[in-house]
């Protein structure tokens, strides 16, 4: 018995993901690497799909889970209406403007935004960005789960030519969903038996992340930070705010892939990330920086400045956050590589400020730091 080998169309899908193949066919600049030092200085290019200038951030840590891109709305102009069958969260890097959101045949809903605003676009709803300033462009950072979604539904038309839309997302008796004031709920969180309270904020639109309040401290002696969760109603995208007090840093920790971390406040710091036993990568950090730790890589957030450092974090789906083979853990300060502390103290010296890390935290495994700046407000 003999067989005949038939000709088949050439495809790289065995080696490349559907998202990778789709992205390769786009005419937009793609930025790779481990981090973006400042999204405001990216070299942008025309993106036909969006009808404006932009750049896609396809960083190592995104790993086919999340995607991020920057769009430029020209001075006094707007970008064409757009929709896709996955939801997006949008952070305003620079500028002031207006978003119009609507479903086919339904009234348009408008809301104004400014620098540091955060909002959500529900799946398959049209939206248009307009720049209210005539003297400068607006820059927005968009994050979604498009790569992961394409991994189980590779047909491009499903995402960009899909007629299904859930109109209850925007049109209900509650009025403008972007006009409702955010509210906070205090929740008990259990992280592997370690329980602590956190505040979680609920809204579709947050006007200014720099005036965030009612923060709660992270649990455990090595988590030198404050935080709060951000939840968009009816959304699968998980986000949160982390605030690093001045002249301190967090211990090394690791988790699953695709956590897109964006610098919200001014100031100069850095992140350190590395695979277990591997070379350390130092990522400079400032306002509009973007940092995505690869899956299961240790990383640390370091603030050697005299003011707090705020970071927006867009997480992957919850099931992937702990995708680390059961190795999700932190390295106590007493066990960390002394190189990290050396880099921290050298940066402090350049800034002319002292360390606020107590000596005992590097020497006593049972030391409990009663830090008044980490007491939180709620």
List, as one string, the DSSP characters of 323-334: TTTT---EE-GG
How far apart are alpha carbons 228 and 226 in whole angstroms?
7
Q: Is the pLDDT of residue 221 over 90?
A: no
Q: Is the pLDDT of residue 223 over 80?
A: no
For the domain spanning 183-374, the CATH number is: 2.60.120.10
* pLDDT at 10 (0 to 100): 37
- Burial of residue 44 (CB within 10 Å: 0-12, 13-18, 19+) is middle
Q: Is the pLDDT of residue 175 over 80?
A: no
Beta bridge partners of 271: 283, 301
DSSP label at 246? T
User: Which band of pLDDT confidence, cut at 50, 70 and 90, is reported for residue 141?
Assistant: very high
User: Maximum CA pair distance of the chain?
Assistant: 82
User: Which band of pLDDT confidence, cut at 50, 70 and 90, is reported for residue 7?
Assistant: very low
Asked if 61 and 68 touch (Cβ cutoff 8 Å), the reply is no
**Closest Cα partner for 230 from 257, 207, 254?**
207
Asked if 280 and 342 touch (Cβ cutoff 8 Å), the reply is no
**Closest Cα partner for 70 from 94, 48, 98, 87?**
94
User: 76 — alpha (psi -120 to 50), left (phi > 0) or beta?
Assistant: left
pLDDT averaged over every residue in the chain: 88
* pLDDT at 8 (0 to 100): 39
Top pLDDT among 194 and 111 is at 111
Q: Is the pLDDT of residue 54 over 90?
A: yes
Per-residue tokens: 325: 């083979």
Quickly tell me which residue has 């995607």 as its tokens.
67
User: Which band of pLDDT confidence, cut at 50, 70 and 90, is reported for residue 329?
Assistant: confident
* pLDDT at 154 (0 to 100): 93
- The domain locations on the chain are 18-161, 183-374
Per-residue tokens: 333: 């300060």
- Yes or no: is domain 18-161 CATH 2.60.120.10? yes
User: Which band of pLDDT confidence, cut at 50, 70 and 90, is reported for residue 268?
Assistant: confident
**Matching CATH topology for 18-161 and 183-374?**
yes
- Burial of residue 133 (CB within 10 Å: 0-12, 13-18, 19+) is middle
Quickly tell me which residue has 């790569």 as its tokens.
147
**What value does the mean pLDDT take over residues 20-44?**
96
Q: What is the pTM of this model?
A: 0.91
Residues 6+ apart with CB under 8 A from 352: none
User: Over pLDDT 90: what percentage of the chain?
Assistant: 68
User: Which band of pLDDT confidence, cut at 50, 70 and 90, is reported for residue 180?
Assistant: confident
């Amino acid at each position: 018995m003999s067989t005949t080998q038939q000709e088949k169309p050439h495809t790289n899908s065995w080696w490349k993901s559907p998202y990778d193949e789709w992205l390769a066919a786009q005419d937009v600049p793609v930025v790779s690497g481990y981090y973006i030092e400042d999204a405001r200085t990216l070299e942008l290019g025309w993106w036909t799909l969006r009808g404006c200038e932009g750049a896609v951030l396809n960083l190592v840590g995104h790993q086919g889970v999340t995607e991020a891109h920057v769009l430029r709305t020209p001075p006094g102009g707007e970008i064409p209406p757009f929709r896709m069958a996955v939801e997006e969260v949008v952070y305003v890097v620079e500028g002031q403007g207006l978003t119009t959101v609507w479903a086919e045949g339904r009234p348009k809903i408008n809301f104004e935004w400014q620098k540091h605003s955060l909002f959500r676009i529900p799946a398959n709803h049209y939206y248009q960005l307009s720049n209210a300033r005539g003297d400068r462009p607006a820059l927005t950072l968009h994050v979604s789960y498009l790569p992961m979604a394409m991994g189980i539904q590779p047909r491009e038309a499903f995402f960009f030519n899909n007629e299904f839309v859930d109109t209850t997302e925007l049109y209900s008796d509650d009025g403008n969903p972007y006009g409702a004031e955010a509210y906070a709920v205090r929740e008990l969180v259990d992280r592997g038996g370690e329980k602590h309270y956190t505040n979680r904020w609920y809204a579709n639109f947050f006007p200014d992340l720099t005036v965030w309040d009612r923060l709660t401290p992270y649990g455990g002696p090595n988590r030198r930070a404050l935080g709060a969760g951000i939840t968009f109603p009816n959304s699968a995208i998980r986000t949160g705010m982390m605030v690093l007090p001045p002249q301190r840093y967090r211990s090394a920790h690791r988790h699953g892939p695709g956590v897109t971390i964006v610098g919200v406040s001014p100031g100069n710091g850095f992140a350190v990330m590395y695979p277990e036993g591997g070379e350390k990568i130092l990522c400079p950090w400032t306002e509009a920086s973007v940092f995505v730790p690869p899956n299961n890589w240790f990383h640390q957030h370091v603030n050697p400045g005299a003011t707090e450092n705020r970071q927006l974090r867009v997480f992957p789906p919850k099931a992937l956050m702990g995708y680390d083979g059961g190795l999700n853990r932190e390295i106590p300060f007493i066990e960390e590589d002394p190189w990290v502390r050396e880099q921290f103290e050298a940066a402090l010296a350049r800034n002319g400020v002292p360390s606020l890390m107590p000596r005992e935290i590097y020497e006593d495994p049972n030391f409990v730091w009663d830090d008044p700046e980490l007491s939180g407000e709620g």
